[in-house]
Amino acid sequence: MTQKTRYRVHDGRRYKVVRFRGFEGFIVRWTASCTGCLETEDGHHVGHYDFDEKAKCHLGAGCEECGYHGKTRREEWVPFDEADYLAHEWREWKKERAAS
Ligand SMILES: [Zn+2]
């Protein structure tokens, strides 16, 4: 099956359409502190961590998980129409709950 790559404009930016559970969305990627080596307690850092200006996050002490960089690349699927998607998820959740 060949599917043509489609694009949609969202908030003034052009995104490649990625379908998930029948909904159209897009992938966002960003860099964040590594949860494996950056310790926090109640949202506060335990110890001192350097701040990475470019990635806009603090760097962990380094561990195997992040390849000793202290930061990792994250990605997440985001629906174009969030309200629609959440309503769908809510219906699915209710169905599941009613079935069990
Ligand atoms: Zn790490």
For ligand 1, the distance from its centroid to the CA atom of residue 34, given in whole angstroms, is 5
Residue 36 pLDDT > 90: yes
Condensed to tens digits (0 to 9), the pLDDT of residues 7-23 reads 999 989 999 999 999 99
pLDDT one-digit tens code per residue, 41-68: 998 998 899 999 999 999 999 999 999 9
How far is residue 38's CA from residue 44's CA, in Å, rounded to a whole number? 10
Identify any residues that bridge with 38 across adjacent strands, giving them in sequence order: none
> In angstroms, what is the span from residue 8 Cα to ligand 1's centroid?
35
Distance 87 CA to ligand 1 centre (A): 36
Is the Cβ–Cβ distance between 27 and 74 less than 8 Å? Answer: no
Ligand 1 center–CA 40 separation, angstroms: 13
Distance from the alpha carbon of residue 33 to the mean position of ligand 1, in angstroms: 8
Q: How far apart are CA 57 and CA 72, in angstroms?
A: 10
pLDDT at residue 1 tops 80: no
Asked whether the beta carbons of 18 and 77 are under 8 A apart, the reply is yes
- Is this model's pTM higher than 0.85 or not? no
How confident is the model at residue 58, as a pLDDT?
96
Q: Among 67, 72, 75, which Cα is nearest to 35's? A: 72
